[in-house]
Amino acid sequence: MKIRGLIVASVVFLALGGTLYWSNHRKPSEDTAKASADTPPSILKLDQSAITRLEVTKKDAAPVVLAKSASGDWQITEPKPLKADDSAVSGVLSTVSSLNSERLVEEKAVDLKPYGLQSPAVQVGITGKDNKTQKLLIGDDTPTGGAVYAKLDGDARVYTMSSFGKTSVDKGLNDLRDKHLLAVSSDKISRIELIRKNQDIEFGRNKDEWQILKPKPLRADSLQVDDVARKLSDARMDIGGSESPKDLDSAFAKASPFVSAKVTDQSGTQELQIRKSKDAYYAKSSTVEGVYKVAADLGEGLDKGLDDFRNKKLFDFGFNDPNKIEIHDGAKAYFLARNGEDWWSNGKKMDANSAQTLVSRLRDLSADKFPDSGFANPAIELTVTSDDGKKTEKVSIAKSGDSYIGKRENEPALYHLTSNLIDDLRKSAEEVKPAAAALAK
């Protein structure tokens, strides 16, 4: 019995060893063949950068033809010349250049009608630098949903592909055209003119700073003007409605003029006219043919007066700490100079926290309105030096009733200041103490 058991154990051991050896040494080609059988075949594999022409044809619609220029930009050439939407074209290119199937349905299809491929819902012609064209045909949805039938023209094989793939290429003229109403980039704009409600405001840019040029030279709030520049460069046509071009022309003609915006960059000046009818805004551009609806926030964003664009701050040093501060308030005088992170006054190191509080109070001096008169007998003189000594700003402040009026040196504009701003400024100037005194306290 012991010999018989030993024989059985030996046989089992040899069988296990053989299985292990076969598992570790079988040919890779067997694994590759199985993986290949499980992987759906590709429909298209193209070099996206080599595609130079697209032709998208939806059933019962005129084809939309796009061509790539020598500079790499895409243009619509048919049914009429239009600038293309880079994002929309990129989506189509990305899909057709690497299009995988979900499965191969039929190797050699003779009858295409059951798949909706005899009269395809969408056809996409793709032409490369070699002038060779491949055409993708997309048919009906599969019975189970989530996929559609597809094939290449001239290839007998029929596949299924994801419905998302169809959505990515099923584009009409309005999907593929550029919807910007002005051909400008906000950071390249050098001038903006807004004409509305008997008011003509013009802005000019010097590097990153905007200046009001009309109705008269004034300091501008660059953030406010930048916002207008962005709204104009982002202004897009709303083409999702059912109005015909004739309806839109009629609506524009009947609507009330709201604002006319003229934008200038290195290429010249473009104009966007916006009119309003009840809650709807209509726009007409000098660079795009036709009249279009536009979003309400565009019209509302341009509905501003001169004071909305004026710089209300009395000082321009912004978030950078100044180098020197000099304050004369009647018989009182305060002097501060910064060296690195330290503040000094008359040879004494001052408490940094109390000095920073004073800097904040100077930074907060901001007008709530712009009076035409009322400045006389200044009570406070402020001088702030910043930008490593390159910039010096002088402001005089006079009492006016229960409030104050400020005036910058060599500028005619007046700034109305509430009394609490001046009270806080005076208090923080008095509370700047030497560093040793602050520690002892």
Residue 165 lies in a domain: yes
Residue 27 lies in a domain: no
- The reply to whether 47 and 171 lie within a common domain is yes
Residue 401 lies in a domain: yes
Question: What integer pLDDT is reported at residue 60 of this predicted model?
Answer: 86
- The reply to whether 251 and 290 lie within a common domain is yes
- The reply to whether 191 and 305 lie within a common domain is yes
Q: Find the range with the poorest average confidence among 35-44, 225-234, 350-359, 401-410.
A: 35-44
Question: What integer pLDDT is reported at residue 382 of this predicted model?
Answer: 98
Q: What distance in Å separates the CA atoms of residue 204 and residue 207, rounded to the nearest whole number?
A: 10
Looking at 116, 150, 176, which one is the last position of a domain?
176
- Containing structural domain, residue 285: 186-309
Q: Find the range with the poorest average confidence among 64-73, 124-133, 142-151, 237-246.
A: 237-246
- Burial of 441 by CB count in 10 Å (0-12 exposed, 13-18 middle, 19+ buried)? exposed
Q: What distance in Å separates the CA atoms of residue 296 and residue 302, rounded to the nearest whole number?
A: 10
- The reply to whether 136 and 213 lie within a common domain is no
Q: Which domain CATH number covers 246?
A: 2.60.40
Average pLDDT for 32-59? 80
Residue 17 lies in a domain: no
Q: How many CB atoms lie within 10 A of CB 375?
A: 18
- The reply to whether 331 and 271 lie within a common domain is no
Which whole-number Å values give the CA distances from 94 to 62, 89, 91, 384, in the listed order? 23, 9, 5, 56
- The reply to whether 278 and 330 lie within a common domain is no
Tokens coding 243? 């109005």
User: Which tens digits make up the pLDDT trace of 325-342?
Assistant: 999 999 999 999 999 999
- The reply to whether 122 and 77 lie within a common domain is yes
- The reply to whether 191 and 292 lie within a common domain is yes
Q: Which helix H or strand E contains 301, and what residues bound it?
A: helix 296-301
The DSSP call for residue 180 is B
Confidence of residue 240 (pLDDT cuts 50, 70, 90): confident
> Which DSSP string corresponds to 318-341?
TTSPPSEEEEEETTEEEEEEEETT
Backbone dihedral region for residue 203 (phi beyond 0: left; psi -120 to 50: alpha; all else: beta)? beta
Residue 35 lies in a domain: no
Domain count along the chain:
3
- The reply to whether 110 and 153 lie within a common domain is yes
